[in-house]
Amino acid sequence: MKRTHKLLALTLAAGVLSFLQACQKDDGFISRSTVDLKNGQAFVNNANPERTFYSSARHIGNGRAQAWVTENREGEPVSVGLTLSAGALTNLPDEMTGFVLELPKGKGKNFYTFVMLDWNPQGHEPPQIYGLPHFDVHFYIVPDEVRLGMLPEKVTEFENLPSDEYVPAGYFRGPGFVPFMGVHWLNGASHELHGATFTQTFIWGSYDGEFVFWEPMLTRDYLLTRPNEVIGIPQPAAYKRDGWYPTRYEISWSKYGNDYTIALRDLQFRQGQ
C-alpha cells in the first residue's frame, strides 16, 4: 500500500534518523499531565492507581508531539498513546517527515517500546485511496534497532508472514512491504476500501513472522473536525508472544488540553502460543 522502492525507503529512514536526537520536554501543552511532566513526575490521578509516563516532546508544525504509556498498580500497561497539541496541525512540512518518540524505559513492562509518527503531506500509495494529507502513528513492540534493521534487501524476513491464527479477523496483507517499517495489513471492512473518502483507519504491521506494530492512520482534515471516537479492534484467534494487546483505539480532541489524543486503549494480557 505504500511506496516500496529502495530510494523512497532510504529517504524515509534518513528523515526519521534526522529527528532521533533528544529535545527538551514539551512546554506547549496546557494539560495537567504536562505540568506534572515539567516537574519530572508522572501524571498521577489520586482517585485512580494508574500512572502515566511520558516521552520527551518533539516539535512538529507550530506544536508538539509527545508519546506516553499508562500502567496499573502492577506496572502493566493499560493504554499507550500520542498527544498532539493543536498547533501541530499548522505550518507542517511540505515533505514526508518522521519522528521517533522513545517510551520511558522500564515502564508498562517494556512491552511498547516507541511510537513513530509520520506526516505524509501528499499521502501515499494507492493515491486514489490514501493520497490525502495524513498522519501515520505506529506503536511498536520491538526496539527501534530492530526497525532500523528492516533493510530493503531483507525480502525473506518481510515475506515471512504471521500464521493465519495471528491475523485479526477480516484483515488482509497489503501489497509489497516498506523497508524500515514492515508489512502492512488492512481491514477489509474499512470504509475507504468501499468507496468512502479516507478519514481514519487501523492497520496492523508485521515483520519476520510476527506482528510488531499497530497503526492508526488519520487525515489532517479529520482531526480538524475535533473527533471523539473510541473504536473496537478486530482480534486474532491467537497471539505469538506474551503481551498486552489493544482491544480499542481512541482518536479524540480535548478542549481542556487544547490537544488531540491517538491511543491504544483497554490493553489486555494475552499469552503467546
| pLDDT at residue 21 in the model | 33
Residues 55-69 have a mean pLDDT of 97
Residues 65-76 have a mean pLDDT of 97
The answer on pLDDT for 26 being more than 80 is no
| Nearest of 102, 57, 107 to residue 84 by alpha carbon | 57
The answer on pLDDT for 50 being more than 90 is yes
Pairwise CA distance, residues 65 & 86, whole Å: 10
What would the grid cell of residue 241 be? Answer: 508472544
| pLDDT at residue 64 in the model | 97
Under 8 Å between Cβ of 211 and 202: no
Pairwise CA distance, residues 112 & 102, whole Å: 9
Tell me the HSE value of 188 on the side-chain side, using a 13 A CA sphere: 7
Is position 106 within any domain? Answer: yes
pLDDT in tens, 185-220: 999 999 999 999 999 999 999 999 999 999 999 999
**What residues contact 170, with CB distance under 8 A and at least 6 apart?**
187, 188, 189, 234
Pairwise CA distance, residues 237 & 81, whole Å: 25
Pairwise CA distance, residues 149 & 129, whole Å: 29
The answer on pLDDT for 8 being more than 50 is no
The answer on pLDDT for 93 being more than 50 is yes
Is position 13 within any domain? Answer: yes
Largest CA distance in the chain: 51
Is position 247 within any domain? Answer: yes
| pLDDT at residue 56 in the model | 96
49 falls in which pLDDT band (50, 70, 90)?
confident
The answer on pLDDT for 95 being more than 60 is yes
27 falls in which pLDDT band (50, 70, 90)?
very low
Pairing of strands 200-207, 228-232: unpaired
Pairwise CA distance, residues 133 & 151, whole Å: 26
| pLDDT at residue 94 in the model | 96
Report which residue type is found at 142: V
Ramachandran angles phi, psi of 148, nearest 5°? -65, -20
| pLDDT at residue 114 in the model | 98
Is position 1 within any domain? Answer: no
91 falls in which pLDDT band (50, 70, 90)?
very high
Is position 169 within any domain? Answer: yes
101 falls in which pLDDT band (50, 70, 90)?
very high
pLDDT in tens, 139-162: 999 999 999 999 999 999 999 999
Helix%, strand%, coil% for the chain, nearest 5:
20, 35, 45
| pLDDT at residue 47 in the model | 63
What would the grid cell of residue 7 be? Answer: 530510494
The tally of domains found in the chain comes to 1
The answer on pLDDT for 37 being more than 50 is no
Under 8 Å between Cβ of 57 and 65: yes
Ramachandran angles phi, psi of 108, nearest 5°? 60, 35
| Domain range for 162 | 6-270
Is position 180 within any domain? Answer: yes
Is the pTM higher than 0.95? no
More confident residue, 4 or 228: 228
| pLDDT at residue 29 in the model | 38
Alpha-carbon distances of 61 from 37, 58, 66, 136, 262, rounded to whole Å: 22, 10, 13, 15, 17
Q: 41-50, 109-118, 132-141 — which is least confidently predicted? A: 41-50
Pairwise CA distance, residues 260 & 255, whole Å: 9
Report which residue type is found at 210: E
The answer on pLDDT for 30 being more than 80 is no
DSSP state of 49: -
